[in-house]
Structure 1
Amino acid sequence: MRSARHLRAVWFALLAAASPAAAGEVSFSASVDRNVVGLEDRFTLTLTVRAPDLARIEKLALPDVGTLEILSQREQTATTFSFSGGSQDFRRIKNVLIVLKPTREGATTIGRATLRYGGQSYTTEPIAIQVVKNAPRAKSGRRAPAPGMSPFPFDDDFFRSPFDDPFFRSPLDEFLGQQRPIDEKDAFVEAYVSPDVVVQGQQATVTVMVYSRIDARIGETRWPKLDGFYAMDRDVSGARTEQKFIDGERYLYKLHQQKALFPLKAGEIALDPVSVEMVLSASPFSQETRTLKTRPLKLKVLPLPEAGRPADFSEANVGRFTLSAAVDATQVALNQPVTLTLTLRGTGNIHQARVPELPALDKFKRFDPAVDVQVQKSGAEVRGAKTVEYVLVPLATGELVLPEVKFSFFDPVDNRYRTIQTEPITLKVTASANAPPGTETGREVNLLAGTFKPIRFESTLSGYGHPLYRRSFFWPIVAVPPALWLLLVLGGAVSRIARSDSPRGRARQAISRARAHLKQASRHAARGMASEFFSEIKAALLDGIEARLGAPAQGMLLEEIRRSLLSAGADPADADGLVHELENCDFGRFAPASSRGQEMQDSLQRSRRLLQRLTRNAGRSPS
């Protein structure tokens, strides 16, 4: 830990000495790992910026790559020192590595890249690329390093100083904050509505997209109140993460959520922003939770036209539909039911669409229908089917006709009302074997005649004595369970009080507190909260000492704690280890941040072992 602080001080001194040369020259160059590539090959274009302060880069525009295709892009940054002639130079290097793929044979040119730095512009030279069908392979399996990178990235060169490798992560790098702050361009969300002009009842789809150029995890998503809409969630679980370049920067983007909205009234409707909670990380060592919001949206809803509106039209019937009718049998016996199924299919608000009722059927007994709705969950457009099943019992024999059923709706694609209808269905009803004699064709039949007879019965009422609650043994029986429960509760409380006042009880309480402090310390270590971690470790150790000594250890000097532990029969090595760990807690609370990570894990393991041995005879050991 002390060596790390010394190394940090040396680096800081080097930075101070190099600061007079911070105004060094700025260079901007472009290079490729080869100029002749095969049609199926991949190669790398590297843009290199050398400057005293990378934060002063105002804009870096990628070049036009002609017929080449950009597959990926990533960035690297490094710090270099050079000592020459008694002067020092301190620089930053930024490499933009772009992986390219040819799309066709022939010559092509990578254009000029542009850098805007400190109010001045810099450009690279064009690079000629020749694409052939089969390019010869390089003899060496090692690819040329990007400018500013070590030529020995995988070699164990004992004589090479880590200062020669610009991507060597020194304590100074952490001190200077290689972890750049997260800005609003690193991640954002967008929402759009399509179409943005609809008629009342027509579907409008709101899509939420998430974009990020750093590591990100999506958390809770909150939609605004959608008053005035019938809303349906669309399933986008199959959406894939893709990439695109925005202003020369590579972003990963994904379709996050989608809702189908059916407006219930006309007018200009404002949709408030959608909020998406995201956990963002610009480096492996830090993360930040932010709530990103989309821009407000506007939707224009036109009223349904009055001209040509059918009398039986319902405002929920907006979309494109088909209607069919079918029966499960066209020839039935007089006492057998038949099922008529009306099926409405199409795109639109199928849940709210109103299927017309059957007209009056004077020769059928009709029961209430059963309605079932099936809607596809995937896809932006809502489509599905609504089925209505009627059970009909014919009341007469002969050929009975089920009339056509009409359905009127507004078609937003053709912008007009339409009326469709089913075909009439003819049923042939025959007399059943149980029909009354002399039944004539076309005559209504009482199906229940002769089936039921009146119910007749005789009964007498008599008493059975006094009620149970008026008998002498009832209340004593009722009072016994609560009395026993009360005695058990009081006995348990008295027993707990007696145990807590005993030395063994106080030891168990101290051990329990030590376990709680260790668990809390483990959480602080995972979050990198060193000061809180060492405070919890110290509290756990003091509670363990109290469990062994039978007296509070808070306020005792370290030497006094050591003598007391030895007097209580503790092992001398354990007593020395506890004193040393208490000293380490005080030191660790104020140690530099870069030296705390592994030290916290090591301290946690040492403390657990010490407390297990110390409290072995005082009660259950903490874990």
Structure 2
Amino acid sequence: MIAELLVAAAMATQGTGPTLMLSVDRDRVAPGGVVTLTIRAVSSAPDAIRIDLPSLGGFELEGRSERSEVIPGDPGQSGRTTVVELRLRAITPGEWRIGPVSARQGVAFAIADPVTVTILGGAAPAISAGITARVARIIARAPPPPGLDDAGVSVALSDSTVTIGEQVDVVSIAWFDRGVRQRLRRAATLEPPQLEGLWSYAQPVPAGIAATRVVNGRTYDLFLRHQLAFALSQGTLEIPAARLNYSVPLSFQFFSQEERFDRSSQRTQLEVMALPASGREPAFTGAVGRELVLSTQLQPAAVRQREAVSLVVTLRGAGNVALWPPPTPAWPQGVRVYAEGSTEQTRIRDGWLTGTKIFRYLLIPDSSGAMVISTIRYPFFDPAEGQYQVTNAPAVTLVVSPASDRAIARAEPPPIRITERTPLADRLRGVVPAFPWWLILVLGPLIALARHPRQPRTRPVPRGAPSPVDPLSAAEQRLHRRVIGILGSVGAPEVVAAALHDAGIPRDTSDRVGNLLDRYRAARFSATPGDVAGLFRDTELVLKRLQGTTPRRGRSLRQRLTLVGLLAAGVSLAEAQVAPAQLYEAGAYRLAVDGFEREVQARPGVPGRWYNLGAAEYRAGNDAQALVAWTLAARLAPRDHSIRRALGLVPPAANVAAIALWSSPMTPNELWLVGLVIWVTGWGALALERRVRGRWLVLLAGALLAFALGEGLGRWYARPLAVVETSQLMRLAPHERAPGVGELAMLEVVEPLDELRGWVLLESAGGQKGWIPATALI
């Protein structure tokens, strides 16, 4: 009776056992391809499911993932689903059956039929494609670690004896028994040795199996880490041990515990020999490499006296590119040389570290004529040949023409500035936030008024109504004022829309502003204004959207044109690495312009930097750029006599232009601080005396006047102005074939009104309007 009950219970359990399914993502694969095998077990019982993995045949396990979840249901009726995914790499061609696969849940079990996968014909990849032939040879001759069982780690060297500067490959190899590796739930960690006394480069390696070896009848899968190293000194170096960490599950259950293992390799020694003394030239500086080739290039090959030219020396070959020393050319007489550093590019070719090292020199000839830079000899030691060799770069000739008469006859400006001091008023306004300043302005009147009785106020006499203004012009001016408050200037509609979007305005609002500007321009110049009421409604809507926008400080149109002109005046900014002051003193004014411009962009509030930029532009023959830079310097330091003297070297074309570039004896920030001091003094005196005196009211009026002058001067300086670089013909339309309407002289100051497709609409001092190319303005 009891036996019958046990059999019935076993049959009941068998009835609720798991359902097992086996599938692959594809049934035909080429050697080296990857197939995903999915094993899914579904059961109506919540107990853990154990899945026995099948034999893999002509595949190797590249990765494994497993997940299991309980399916909720009624009490006592919960189920479980377990999914195991195996990533299998095809190794041996043929038709292979993977399976069958069995699963157990308690005393119940299930079996899934095998699946057939065909590995197409072709050579089986014994070693991963990511391994070079040089590393493959190192792995092939590497002995297994002593006492190898389930797993181990070893370190193999390409050579046990090398010379200083010779390449040695350090390969850390993890050995895994295939059966043990297939049980791993997560990838093992292989830590290569920390190389001391060697200049090393870590190399990329394949994430999967690098090779397969059979040791004592057991199949081991090999994983590796690769380092390129170069010895720096003579002696015996000890390579530290590599470390391997992995965890093996104690059972096949999903939540089973894991046993951690930590394996270390044996230490390895590397013998480093000194470079031989025989055959070494006196000019040898320590270069070690294989197949080194040296070449030179002059950029440009012909210059004027005291103009800079770049000599590029390129060294190519195999070896430790970073440690190749610079060559030692024999420089001709009458030329100053400045080393600009070097750049490196490396890559692996056939297992060897190769690359290019470029040395740059800045040459400034002091005399005219043909200067010959003789053949450059570069001795080096070749470890492959075991002897010293020499690579030569052919001689090059630099043709130097006499300096231009204009550069010789021009008066010299005062010396350039070394100090980097920002004016005190600008520092205070820049360091202290705006809130404390406004708090000081408001607290003074509040304290003084609190200590005085309130005086009766007289009703102001109403004035007459203002004169009527064109509603269309008034609405357009309101829109212009708001745009100027955000950008500092108003240009072409498409330029304004893009600039507003860059300033943080939403795209739809910025596009609306550009559309409105275009509609206002069409309404002004067309015979029928169109829907003026709709234009007013759209303007009010846009102004409300722009009302909460915080203005962002940006460059005005004149400043943007200035930067464009300055960038176009010199060579690439990346060319000059020598200090700009040193280039200026050496006479390389065009390269000095680039250096001073970078300094100005880094700290535009330093007047000395603007002065240095103007001096370099002036010495390079760019009077318009010099006038702009010195004007900005004078507005930052208005009482500097050297800057005033320099401005006298580039007078504007007319008195009207001189008035437009006028600089006040005080800066706007200085006027603002003076007004603040007077303001606080006046209100403080009123608060202490408890009586209104006329002299304190005069003092407060003076403070208000200082505030007004500072604000007005700031607006005067912020006007969009431009300087004409060379004489230009103003045209009726923005096109080079349009008829002319007037002529602009060199160094004339104009006010840009609009910008369209590389042309600028401006108004001359005589009131004439016309278009000229934007490249002609600074």
TM-score band, normalised by the shorter chain?
A: 0.3 to 0.5
> Normalized against structure 2, the TM-score is what?
0.35
> Normalized against structure 1, the TM-score is what?
0.42
Q: Which of the two has greater strand per residue? A: 1
